[in-house]
């Protein structure tokens, strides 16, 4: 069986690291690293909701809103990636990714308890080496947890309006074998591209899988789900370890 390019086992995620509070003006922020992929996740809470929510009269008048933006910094890729603004429009990929991040975090934030506020989740890729969307979700989950704690500490809400942790990971099929948490080299080589978003209690938020100029079998799908679920459990353990550490060391939070 062929080795993975970086020597990992098929079910092994890349080294994960969370650096907290890297953007002091944000309500919560995290620089997440998964191997060589690094994403800055900043959460800002604004004391207002979008106009459409105020006008909709949808019965959610007391609740808040959560939205996300994603971009790759120009120097995050091996050749410079121009900013979207220089083209005058958001590219389709960024738009797809930011909607995924928004859906993933809306699944775990209690918008009623957030109150009439907007939670902005800004994810900016500092270094891209595959799996930027999944790293963004995993980092944003922690940044949201920090922001929610701050809202509670500042007595803006009674309890942190976050229901559970969420994380995401990619998987794929390479030479007929499932692997988890693909780097860029692997991402280019796989015949199936798969992303899973799930919560700490093992519930799915989103399952995305597509054949890249090829098809895949149910057995391969099941293998990818198994590896991705294990990867997510590992990521959630890492998130929990970070949260436990700041609980005993409030100065760091």
Interface residues toward ligand UDP, by CB under 6 A: 77, 81, 93, 128-133, 170, 184, 187
Q: How far apart are the first and last CA of the chain?
A: 45
Rounded to a whole number of angstroms, the minimum distance from the CB of residue 81 to ligand UDP is: 5
CB of 32 to ligand UDP, least distance (A): 13
Give the relative orientation of helices 132-153 and 218-248 as an angle to the nearest 10 degrees: 30
Q: Would you say 93 or 177 has its CB closer to ligand UDP?
A: 93
| Residue (60 or 81) nearer to ligand UDP, CB | 81
The rounded Cα 41 to chain-centroid distance in angstroms is 9
In 3D space, the residue among 109, 103, 107 whose CA is nearest the CA of residue 45 turns out to be 109
The residue (of 75 and 241) whose beta carbon lies closer to ligand UDP is 75
Nearest approach, Cβ of residue 24 and ligand UDP (Å): 27
The CA radius of gyration of the chain, in Å to the nearest whole number, is: 18
| CA neighbor of 50 nearest in space, from 61, 42, 36, 38 | 61
DSSP state of 34: E
C-alpha closest to that of 185 among 14, 16, 1, 41? 14
CB of 114 to ligand UDP, least distance (A): 27
User: Please, which residue, 48 or 210, has the CB nearer to ligand UDP?
Assistant: 210
CB-CB contact of 21 with 251 (8 Å): no
What DSSP string runs through 95-143?
A: HHHHHHHHHHHHTTB-HHHH-S-EEEEEEEEEE-SS-HHHHHHHHHHHH
Nearer to ligand UDP, 128 or 242 (CB): 128
Count of beta carbons in the 10 Å neighbourhood of residue 4: 17
Residue 27 Cβ vs ligand UDP, minimum distance, rounded to whole Å: 25
Minimal distance, residue 149 CB to ligand UDP, in Å: 28
State in angstroms the smallest separation of the CB of 63 from ligand UDP.
30
* Residue 81 or 164 having the CB closest to ligand UDP: 81
Residue 238, Ramachandran bin (φ over 0: left; ψ between -120 and 50: alpha; else beta): alpha
Query: Which CB, 49 or 171, lies closer to ligand UDP?
Result: 171
């Amino acid at each position: 069986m062929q080795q993975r390019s970086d020597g990992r086992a098929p079910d092994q995620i890349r080294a994960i690291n969370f650096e907290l509070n890297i953007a002091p003006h944000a309500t919560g922020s995290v620089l997440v690293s998964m191997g060589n992929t690094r994403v800055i996740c900043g959460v800002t809470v604004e004391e207002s909701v979008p106009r459409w929510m105020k006008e909709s009269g949808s019965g959610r008048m007391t609740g808040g809103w959560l939205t996300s933006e994603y971009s790759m910094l120009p120097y995050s890729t091996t050749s410079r990636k121009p900013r979207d603004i220089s083209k005058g429009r958001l590219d389709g990929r960024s738009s797809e990714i930011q909607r995924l991040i928004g859906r993933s975090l809306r699944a775990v934030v209690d918008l009623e308890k957030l109150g009439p506020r907007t939670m902005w989740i800004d994810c900016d890729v500092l270094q891209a080496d595959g799996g930027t969307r999944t790293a963004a979700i995993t980092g944003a989950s922690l940044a949201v947890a920090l922001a929610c704690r701050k809202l509670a500490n500042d007595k803006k809400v009674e309890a942190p309006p976050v229901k559970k942790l969420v994380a995401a990971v990619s998987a794929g099929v390479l030479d007929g074998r499932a692997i988890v948490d693909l780097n860029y080299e692997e991402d280019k080589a796989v015949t199936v591209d798969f992303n899973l978003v799930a919560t700490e209690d093992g519930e799915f938020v989103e399952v995305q899988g597509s054949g890249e100029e090829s098809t895949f079998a149910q057995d391969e799908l099941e293998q990818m789900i198994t590896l991705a679920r294990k990867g997510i459990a590992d990521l959630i353990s890492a998130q929990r370890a970070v949260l436990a550490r700041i609980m005993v060391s409030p100065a760091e939070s």
